[in-house]
Chain A
Amino acid sequence: MASTLSTSEATRLAPATRGLKDREKKRPGPYPYWFYIVPGLIYTIFFIVPTFTSFYFSFTRWDLFTSTWIGLKNYQTFFAEQALVIGLRNTLIYAVLTSGLKVVLGMALALLLTSKIIARGYLRSVIFFPVLVSVIGVGLTFAVLMDPERGLINQALGVVGIDGPGWLTNPSLALFSIALVDIWKGVGLATVIYIAGLVSIPGEYYEAAEVDGASRWGVFRHIMLPLARPATATVITLSLIGGLRSFELIWAMTKGGPGFASDVIASVIYKQYQAGFYGLSTAGSVVLFLLVTIIVVPLTWWLNRAEVS
């Protein structure tokens, strides 16, 4: 939501800020420079230093006690790792799938929940509720529900005569089952963002459309969809970043298994770390950082640019 606000605000406040900037040139900033020292220190100690040391350690063989420089070997090993190849593919599938469905379902639910229906406020809270629950709690609960033999889901399916699949134990199904839970848990946030986006569309557009005799689909296609674009951009960006670095839910539900079937980059990194390959896992974190940057930065730039035009 942050980016929606800041971009729309930026356009709205553009003349005003320009005026401010002119004034600022004549006068020094309102804060004395020493005032930056404390936040600067905190930022340096807790962000800059760890970031750059992690770049350094990713080039070493590191056992927390000592480290030796080995150049690019960690990266070589990391990319030769079969778990990583699976993990990379899974990460992309997972991110695109969850963020895509969150956009579609979020939009659909927002349309429903901004229309005049009974118990609208209550339903809005119901949709948002899973967002508030702990990820690990959700993961563990669904792991129990999805147990192939004793889980509630398959037992319920058994009552109507369907032999339910091994949601988390079938290697080709596990990742999708987790993605489904991720969507269930995250769609509330997408819905709220869309509701905000839809509500902020001025009523005049609808009135004009009504006068012109536009169909309901026409209203959705040519008014709601384009004008809710900032909301779409926000939902895509947030859920894509979330999907790319997803870890907790997968760890709680399958720990990347069976075998490596539901491993994503973050879980591969964590496993290397657990195994004591600290240099290797740091190299993995750098790879993840670069991947998120490479995908999300151009995407955000494109989404926001198109929005302005």
Chain B
Amino acid sequence: MRFTKKAGRGTALVALAAASTLVAAGCSAGSLGSSSGEGSAGATEITYLLGGSTDDVVASGKAMIEAFQAANPGITVKTDTRPGGSEGDNLIKTRLSTGDMSDVFAYNNGSLLQAIKPEQNLTALDDQPWVGQLDQTFADSSKGSDGKIYGGPLGTAFGGGVLYNIPLYKKLGLEIPKTWDEFMANNEKIKKDGSADPVEQTYGETWTSQLFVLGDYANVEAAVPNFAADYTANKVKYATTPAALAGFQHIQEVHDAGYFNKDFASAKLTDGVKAVATGKAAHYPQLGAVATNIPLVAPGKEKEVGFFALPGNDASKNNMTVWPGTSALYIPKSVEGDKLDAAKKFIAYAATQEGCDAFIKGSPPQGPFLSKACKLPAEVSQVATDTQAYFDSGKSSPALEFKSPIKGPALEQICIQVGTGQVDAKKGAELYDQDVKKQAQQLGLPGWD
């Protein structure tokens, strides 16, 4: 109000500025609108959002697209990458809810699939020719609450267990542990020997901390067969079920015994893989899938890393917890017409032997394929061989996230709290039960309100 003198001129100026802003805004909105329609003129072009942005994800995606385009000349596939972990979850949810999703996208099946409401947001793929060839656990964990299949198979299944250094085991004359006590006894011997850290942990990449708990689920189920259903119905808890609490206790025991590597608080996944491949560490509890990194971080050591299931209390029931793929391929409901056909063709291709072969060119297999139409090559990594043995002998059981829609998002931080001695195992399990409650309520499951 102080500028009364200049009011006339000021008004004109501001009006002009406002008008030009409006014009500018109008222009950009228009050009945005037209650009999305351009691609459909000649051949069909679809976009494929990869399940991450790491080298192996990008390489396997590219290899598959090249092979697919060669087999389907009328279709071009463009790729897009995204972050992994919870940042990726968020991106997927946001893009789905704003109708801005790529024509095909790779995302987790199991509990995370339920969180994106497949019935509302995705195209059902029940009628597809590959449905009959699916691995049963994969098929079960790629369904919506309406029982329809929404996800197509991508790549291989893999286990969650302990990567171990084979030369070190040979040198110290150790045997693969079948119970937790045997595992701790091995650690004691390795510690005494002094040439390697008994257990590698890599809290610099938080998600890697969860394997003691997630990978122990086969043992939980062996002790409490009905755990998954009761857990989903809010009848059993981690903190009050001894078999489930064991996972948290194991972290605490290993930490208290001083078995971790010195840089456990800041090391990253690749540091851990390198440590176990070169013999700097003896054990690395991890997903078998990370063995893909061995040729990159420790060339020539592919045969020196083996894999065993996390040991529990009962040696006769020492099964491996397995992940029937961490990702499947989906089509959002918004995709229609030519693009929908092309997207379906692309997913069908991924389920064929050619598609599988192309995929493993970029990302070496660490377990059996999810589509029964695909066969593994003769030469595979030691980790894949070890994992396959558990599958073949029927000693594999899917991780909890494939049997229950609930998985607390803060598990990785809670495991780190236990692993750095900030809270004890019991408290950690209680915290996780609280965390899970939020997820269950968000999903609107009965028995949690």
Q: Is the CB of A274 within 8 A of B7?
A: no
Query: A258 and B416 in contact (CB under 8 A), knowing A38-B18, A169-B203?
Result: yes
Considering the complex, which residues of chain A in the window 64-89 have a beta carbon less than 8 Å from any beta carbon of chain B? 64-65, 68, 77, 80-83
Q: In the assembled complex, which residues on chain B have CB atoms less than 8 Å from the CB atom of A229? A: none
Q: Which of A31, A170, A273 is in CB contact (< 8 Å) with B90?
A: A273
Query: Nearest Cβ distance between residue B260 and chain A, in whole angstroms?
Result: 12
User: Within 8 Å of chain A (Cβ to Cβ): is B335?
Assistant: no
Considering the complex, which residues of chain A in the window 154-169 have a beta carbon less than 8 Å from any beta carbon of chain B? 166, 168-169
Q: Is the CB of B94 within 8 A of A274?
A: no
Q: How many A-B residue pairs have CB under 8 A?
A: 102
Considering the complex, which residues of chain B in the window 182-238 have a beta carbon less than 8 Å from any beta carbon of chain A? 203, 206
Q: In the assembled complex, which residues on chain B have CB atoms less than 8 Å from the CB atom of A149? A: 262-263, 266
Query: A31 and B11 in contact (CB under 8 A), knowing A64-B94, A271-B410, A274-B89?
Result: yes
Query: A258 and B442 in contact (CB under 8 A), knowing A169-B266, A274-B409?
Result: no
Question: In chain A, what residue has the closest Cβ to B420?
Answer: A258
Query: Nearest Cβ distance between residue A265 and chain B, in whole angstroms?
Result: 16
Q: Quick one: CB contact mask for B426-449 with A, threshold 8 Å, 1 for yes?
A: 000001001000110110100000
Q: How large is the interface on B (under 10, 10 to 19, 20 to 34, 35 or more residues)?
A: 35 or more
Q: Quick one: CB contact mask for B79-102 with A, threshold 8 Å, 1 for yes?
A: 000000011011001100100000
Considering the complex, which residues of chain B in the window 379-422 have a beta carbon less than 8 Å from any beta carbon of chain A? 409-410, 413-414, 416-417, 420, 422
- When chains A and B are docked, how far (Å) is the Cα of A271 from the Cα of B414? 13
Question: In chain B, what residue has the closest Cβ to A68?
Answer: B444
User: Within 8 Å of chain B (Cβ to Cβ): is A248?
Assistant: no
Q: In the assembled complex, which residues on chain B have CB atoms less than 8 Å from the CB atom of A124? A: none
Question: In chain B, what residue has the closest Cβ to A170?
Answer: B265
Q: Is the CB of A260 within 8 A of B413?
A: yes
Q: In the assembled complex, which residues on chain A have CB atoms less than 8 Å from the CB atom of B439? A: 275
Considering the complex, which residues of chain B in the window 253-270 have a beta carbon less than 8 Å from any beta carbon of chain A? 262-263, 265-266
- When chains A and B are docked, how far (Å) is the Cα of A276 from the Cα of B11? 46
Q: In the assembled complex, which residues on chain A have CB atoms less than 8 Å from the CB atom of B87? A: 274
Which of the 9-residue segments B64-72, B115-123, B273-281 touches chain A?
B115-123
User: Within 8 Å of chain B (Cβ to Cβ): is A242?
Assistant: no
Q: Is the CB of A277 within 8 A of B442?
A: yes
Q: In the assembled complex, which residues on chain B have CB atoms less than 8 Å from the CB atom of A65? A: 97, 117, 120-121
Q: Is the CB of B265 within 8 A of A148?
A: yes
Q: Which of A17, A147, A260, A277 is in CB contact (< 8 Å) with B266?
A: A147
User: Within 8 Å of chain A (Cβ to Cβ): is B1?
Assistant: yes
Q: Is the CB of B431 within 8 A of A168?
A: no
Q: In the assembled complex, which residues on chain A have CB atoms less than 8 Å from the CB atom of B422? A: 171, 258-259, 261
Considering the complex, which residues of chain B in the window 33-49 have a beta carbon less than 8 Å from any beta carbon of chain A? none
- When chains A and B are docked, how far (Å) is the Cα of A285 from the Cα of B447? 28
Considering the complex, which residues of chain B in the window 307-337 have a beta carbon less than 8 Å from any beta carbon of chain A? none
Q: Which of B93, B120, B265, B438 is in CB contact (< 8 Å) with A77?
A: B438
Q: Is the CB of A61 within 8 A of B2?
A: no
User: Within 8 Å of chain A (Cβ to Cβ): is B4?
Assistant: yes
User: Within 8 Å of chain B (Cβ to Cβ): is A30?
Assistant: yes
Q: In the assembled complex, which residues on chain B have CB atoms less than 8 Å from the CB atom of A77? A: 438, 441
Q: Is the CB of A148 within 8 A of B11?
A: no
Query: A258 and B11 in contact (CB under 8 A), knowing A24-B1, A275-B86?
Result: no
Q: In the assembled complex, which residues on chain B have CB atoms less than 8 Å from the CB atom of A169? A: 203, 265-266
User: Within 8 Å of chain B (Cβ to Cβ): is A256?
Assistant: yes
Q: Is the CB of A259 within 8 A of B120?
A: no
Query: Nearest Cβ distance between residue B121 and chain A, in whole angstroms?
Result: 7
- When chains A and B are docked, how far (Å) is the Cα of A65 from the Cα of B121? 9
Question: In chain A, what residue has the closest Cβ to B414?
Answer: A259
Q: Is the CB of B444 within 8 A of A61?
A: yes
Question: In chain B, what residue has the closest Cβ to A21?
Answer: B1
Query: A20 and B2 in contact (CB under 8 A), knowing A31-B7, A274-B90, A276-B93?
Result: yes
Q: Is the CB of A20 within 8 A of B442?
A: no
Considering the complex, which residues of chain B in the window 1-26 have a beta carbon less than 8 Å from any beta carbon of chain A? 1-2, 4, 7, 11, 15, 18
Query: Nearest Cβ distance between residue A70 and chain B, in whole angstroms?
Result: 8
Q: In the assembled complex, which residues on chain A have CB atoms less than 8 Å from the CB atom of B423? A: 259
Question: In chain B, what residue has the closest Cβ to A166?
Answer: B265
Q: Is the CB of A255 within 8 A of B442?
A: no
Considering the complex, which residues of chain A in the window 11-29 have a beta carbon less than 8 Å from any beta carbon of chain B? 13, 17, 20, 24, 29
Question: In chain B, what residue has the closest Cβ to A168?
Answer: B266
- When chains A and B are docked, how far (Å) is the Cα of A20 from the Cα of B93? 55
Question: In chain A, what residue has the closest Cβ to B206?
Answer: A257
Q: Is the CB of A17 within 8 A of B2?
A: yes
User: Within 8 Å of chain B (Cβ to Cβ): is A183?
Assistant: no
Query: A64 and B93 in contact (CB under 8 A), knowing A257-B203, A258-B416, A258-B420?
Result: yes
Q: In the assembled complex, which residues on chain B have CB atoms less than 8 Å from the CB atom of A20? A: 1-2, 4
Query: A258 and B203 in contact (CB under 8 A), knowing A166-B265, A273-B90?
Result: yes
Q: In the assembled complex, which residues on chain A have CB atoms less than 8 Å from the CB atom of B420? A: 171, 258-259
Q: Is the CB of B413 within 8 A of A276?
A: no
Query: Nearest Cβ distance between residue B324 and chain A, in whole angstroms?
Result: 23
- When chains A and B are docked, how far (Å) is the Cα of A149 from the Cα of B438? 37
Q: In the assembled complex, which residues on chain B have CB atoms less than 8 Å from the CB atom of A170? A: 265
Considering the complex, which residues of chain A in the window 131-152 have a beta carbon less than 8 Å from any beta carbon of chain B? 147-149
- When chains A and B are docked, how far (Å) is the Cα of A166 from the Cα of B267? 12
Query: A275 and B2 in contact (CB under 8 A), knowing A65-B117, A65-B121, A255-B206?
Result: no
Q: In the assembled complex, which residues on chain A have CB atoms less than 8 Å from the CB atom of B15? A: 35
Q: In the assembled complex, which residues on chain B have CB atoms less than 8 Å from the CB atom of A258? A: 203, 265, 416-417, 420, 422
User: Within 8 Å of chain B (Cβ to Cβ): is A63?
Assistant: yes
Q: Is the CB of B416 within 8 A of A275?
A: no
Question: In chain B, what residue has the closest Cβ to A17?
Answer: B2
Query: Nearest Cβ distance between residue B186 and chain A, in whole angstroms?
Result: 26
Query: Nearest Cβ distance between residue A163 and chain B, in whole angstroms?
Result: 12
Query: A63 and B203 in contact (CB under 8 A), knowing A77-B438, A276-B89, A277-B442?
Result: no
Q: In the assembled complex, which residues on chain B have CB atoms less than 8 Å from the CB atom of A168? A: 266
List chain B positions with a Cβ less than 8 A from chain A: 1-2, 4, 7, 11, 15, 18, 86-87, 89-90, 93-94, 97, 115, 117, 120-121, 203, 206, 262-263, 265-266, 409-410, 413-414, 416-417, 420, 422-423, 431, 434, 438-439, 441-442, 444
Extra 17 A-B pairs, beta carbons < 8 Å, given A148-B263, A168-B266, A271-B410: A13-B2, A20-B2, A61-B442, A65-B121, A68-B444, A147-B266, A149-B266, A169-B265, A258-B417, A259-B417, A259-B420, A274-B86, A275-B89, A275-B438, A276-B90, A276-B93, A277-B442
> Can you list 13 residue pairs at the A/B interface with Cβ under 8 Å?
A30-B4, A65-B120, A80-B434, A149-B262, A168-B266, A256-B413, A258-B265, A259-B417, A271-B410, A274-B87, A275-B89, A275-B409, A275-B439
List chain A positions with a Cβ less than 8 A from chain B: 13, 17, 20, 24, 29-31, 35, 38, 61, 63-65, 68, 77, 80-83, 147-149, 166, 168-171, 255-261, 271, 273-277, 280
**4 closest cross-chain pairs (CB), A and B:** A169-B265, A259-B417, A275-B409, A30-B7
